[in-house]
Amino acid sequence: MIRTLPSSPLYKIGYRIYIAIFYLFLIMPLVTISVLAFNDSNFIALPWEGFSLDWFFSDTNERLGLFADEDLLISIWTSFETGFFVSLLSTIVGTFAALLFEEEQFRFKGLLYFLALAPLVIPGVILGISILLSSTSAGIFIEDNFGIYIESLSPSFWLVVFGQFSFCATYVMLLVGARLKKFDRTLEEAALSLRATRLESIWYVTIPFLKPAIIGAFVVAFLISFSNFNTTIFLIGSDPTLPVDLYSRIKFSSTPVLNAVSFMIVTVITFSAIINIYTSRKK
Amino acid sequence: MKKRNLTFYLFIVPVLAWLLFLIVLPHIDLFLSSFRVENDDGITVFSFANYLSFFEDSIYWLTFLRTAFYSISITVLAFVITFPIAFYLTKVISKKYSSFMTLLLLIPIWVGELVTIYGWMILLSDHGVINNFLIYIGVIDTPIEMLYTDFSMIIGLLYMSMLFMIVPVMSALDSLDDSLIEAASDLGASKWTIITRIVIPHSMPGIASGGIMVFMLIIGDYVAPNILGGKSSLWFTEQIYNFFLTTIDWSQGAAFGFLLLMLSSIIIWLVLKITGQKLERVGS
């Protein structure tokens, strides 16, 4: 049953087969799209027509490859920009929140902590529509009363950034908070008794200790932002992010260039995972 | 209470701004908008009409119930499928391989839902890999219609959500001392007894938080039902999307959004009550 207990061969084999089927189920869609990205065909699925790099490099009208498809490249770039700003904002505010809830005592702390956790249990759709509604109301209110039109309150790049930030900050808070729980508070107290200010003690003592978690949280926030669809779709302006662009292509004009993009994403993620294993093993 | 220093305000101001402007106010506005209706003179008035239309048109509340039923069932299914995997990775396989196999589980999560759902679309289509394979080995002659059915929708929802169950269950199982299982086994307990009396009760916190994550992802999902589901595979989020992006009836959409929020909150609250968990634990 477990490592130290003997079990019957039949049980062991059955269990292994189940595991194998599960992993097959897991990698099947990823392998399929990756292989079909190199298919010399104008259709996204089978039959296999031979090997070709057309869907990466070709730039004819009939076959517009990934590196020639300007719209696609722009949406990938938009996703990178969005991801960068979302991670930056949520890393800063999420770390502040972690420090606040772990180290400070104040009134309504429980209520605020509950609100900070709420994005975990609010469906992404709801966050999207409620931020859309409230920012539109705010935009109308400001325009009526002050005569100023603020573009980022209507669907736009920055509204997407704020929308994604609203829940990414929660994940950062939890990741950084988990490491902060292991922090030895006496180190901070030592710094304070050596006449460091509170801010200095956090900057020179606590933050260096949290650094691995902060970097990890930045990466996690970036990945969440990069693949988010449910919240983004409502807040998007004229420039779509990659998932929104992929969605409309899947629905209305699927060509194997979708396979090529998917292949790139799968490859990058897999490589980063391998690098992650390699570096963590060296430590 | 001791005097606050500047650092405290440096921390609390951005956090308050985040919670107030992006969590609290938007949801209040969502709630208020759901009661807004334009009357014949084009003036916005307070009304329950948006909620009434939900109950009057059976397609709305039937979709609502259907979404709730499917979401709960798929969450249970995700648990049944992934529990043996989580158990295997933490308790059976040698530690050397376990970290590698756990990492493999994370790849589909990070690749993102759109790509994996697109992959399933190719796998399940009439000219897709699975149909071709089945024809090739001679099990069937003509392609089975798998795409654009409830079946493909369930596969997609299961695939994109179930991995979020494994991770918290694994961390709960990690903290279970192997010697408890050994002791039970020495005392003659069967595998079934050990699983139901020791392993599952111990990993309840992990199961509850994994279950909540999975349930949330499924009930709020749009991509899988929309891309993989057929004409009859209605999903409640699709109706919200339609009100916002197609028919542009925001206050009706807000009412539906609020109903969805209520549904998911009530179910999550019930799960937390029954399992005796706190929301704080779900995060960790």
What tokens appear for B95 in the block?
């530690």
In Å, how far is A59's CA from the nearest CA of chain B? 23
Query: Are A178 and A79 in a shared domain?
Result: yes
DSSP assignment of B129-177: HHHHHHHHTTS-SS----TTSHHHHHHHHHHHHHHHHHHHHHHHHHTS-
What is the pLDDT, as a whole number, of residue B282?
58
The answer to the question of residue A106 being in a domain is yes
Domain membership of residue A2 (yes or no) is: no
Residues A208, A95, single domain; the answer is: yes
Q: Is A202 found in the same domain as A279? A: no
Same domain, yes or no, for A211 and A188?
Answer: yes
Residue A159 lies in a domain: yes
Q: How far is CA A160 from CA A157, A166, A167, B194, in A?
A: 5, 10, 12, 49
Nearest CA to CA, how far is A77 from chain B (Å)?
Answer: 17
The per-residue pLDDT for range B212-263, each reduced to its tens digit, is 889 988 988 888 888 888 777 788 888 888 888 888 888 888 888 899 999 8
Q: What percent of chain B lies above the pLDDT cut of 90?
A: 7
Residue for token pair 């039949």? A10
B90, B144, B111: which is closest to A26 by C-alpha? B111
A277 and A232 in a common domain: no
Task: Determine the pLDDT at residue A164.
Answer: 92
Q: How far is B57 from chain A (nearest CA, A)?
A: 22
What's B36's DSSP letter? E
Assigned domain for A191 exists: yes
pLDDT tens-digit map of B167-180: 888 888 888 888 88
Contact B22 A170 (CB under 8 A): no
Q: How far is it, in rounded angstroms, from Cα B224 to Cα B153?
A: 6
What tokens were used for A263? 């292949």
Q: How far apart are CA A243 and CA A223, in angstroms?
A: 12
Report yes or no on B135 lying in a domain. yes
Which candidate in A129, A223, A274 is best for mutational testing of the B interface (most B CBs within 10 A)? Answer: A129
In whole angstroms, give the CA distance from residue B253 to residue B247.
10
Cβ contact B226:B238 at 8 Å: yes
Tell me how far apart the alpha carbons of residues B211 and B217 are, in angstroms, rounded to a whole number.
10
Residue A92's pLDDT band, with cuts at 50, 70 and 90, is very high
- Tell me which residue has tokens 């149909």: B131
Do A227 and B182 lie within an 8 Å CB cutoff? no
pLDDT value for B1: 42
Residues A96 and A226 in one domain: yes
Mean pLDDT of B91-120: 84
pLDDT > 90? residue B205: no
Using 50, 70 and 90 to split pLDDT, how confident is the model at B74?
Answer: very high
- Are A154 and A135 in contact by the 8 Å Cβ rule? The answer is yes
CA torsion B204→B210→B215→B220, rounded to 10°? 150
Of A45-54, B8-17, B45-54, which gets the smallest average pLDDT?
A45-54
The count of structural domains within chain A is: 2
User: What pLDDT does residue A282 have?
Assistant: 56
Block residue for tokens 């589909």 = B108
Same domain, A21 and A136: no
Instruction: Report residue B259 as tokens.
Output: 């109903």
Look at residue B40 and tell me if it is in a domain.
no
Q: Which band of pLDDT confidence, cut at 50, 70 and 90, is reported for residue B107?
A: confident
Q: Rounded mean pLDDT of B96-102?
A: 80
Nearest residue on chain A to B114, judged by CA atoms? A243
| CB of A122 less than 8 A from some CB of B | yes
Distance of alpha carbon A165 from alpha carbon A159, whole angstroms: 10
> Is the whole-model pTM more than 0.90?
no
Domain that holds residue B277: 47-283
Chain B nearest-CA residue for A246: B114
The nearest CA of chain B is from the CA of A79 a distance in Å of 13
Tell me what the mean pLDDT of segment B86-113 comes to. 83
A130 closest CB neighbour out of B26, B100, B185: B26
**Smallest CA–CA separation between A224 and chain B, in Å?**
8
Q: Is A171 found in the same domain as A53?
A: no
- From the list A50, A81, A77, A54, the residue with the least C-alpha distance to A66 is A54
Amino acid B63: pLDDT: 86
Domain membership flag for residue B37: no
| Residues A220-227, mean pLDDT to the nearest whole number | 88
A120: domain CATH number is 1.10.3720.10
pLDDT value of position B44? 74
Q: Measured between CB atoms, which of A5, A223, A265 is closest to B185?
A: A5
pLDDT of amino acid B152: 86
Look at A115 and B19 and tell me if their CB atoms are within 8 Å: yes
Give the domain extent around A23.
8-64+255-283
Q: Which residues of B touch A88 (CB under 8 A)?
A: none
Q: Do A135 and A27 belong together in one domain?
A: no
Distances (CA, A) of B102 to A154, A223, B79: 42, 18, 17
Cβ(A263)–Cβ(A74) below 8 Å? no
In chain B, which residue's Cα lies nearest the Cα of A109? Answer: B12
Written as one letter, the residue type at B255 is: A
Alpha helical stretches, state H, chain B: 6-19, 25-33, 49-56, 58-87, 95-111, 113-124, 129-136, 150-174, 178-186, 191-194, 200-202, 204-219, 223-228, 236-241, 250-275, 279-283
User: Which residues, listed in sequence order, are joined to residue B142 by a DSSP beta bridge?
Assistant: none
Give the residue from B77, B269, B91, B74 showing the smallest Cα distance to B171: B91
Query: Which CATH number belongs to the domain containing residue B179 in this structure?
Result: 1.10.3720.10
Over residues A81-86, the mean pLDDT reads 92
Please report whether residue B59 resides in a domain.
yes
Q: CA torsion, points A158, A164, A169, A175, in degrees to nearest 10?
A: -140
pLDDT category at A62 given cuts 50, 70, 90 is: low
Query: 């938009």: which residue's tokens?
Result: A78
Structurally, how many domains does chain B consist of?
A: 1
Shared domain check, A186 and A133: yes
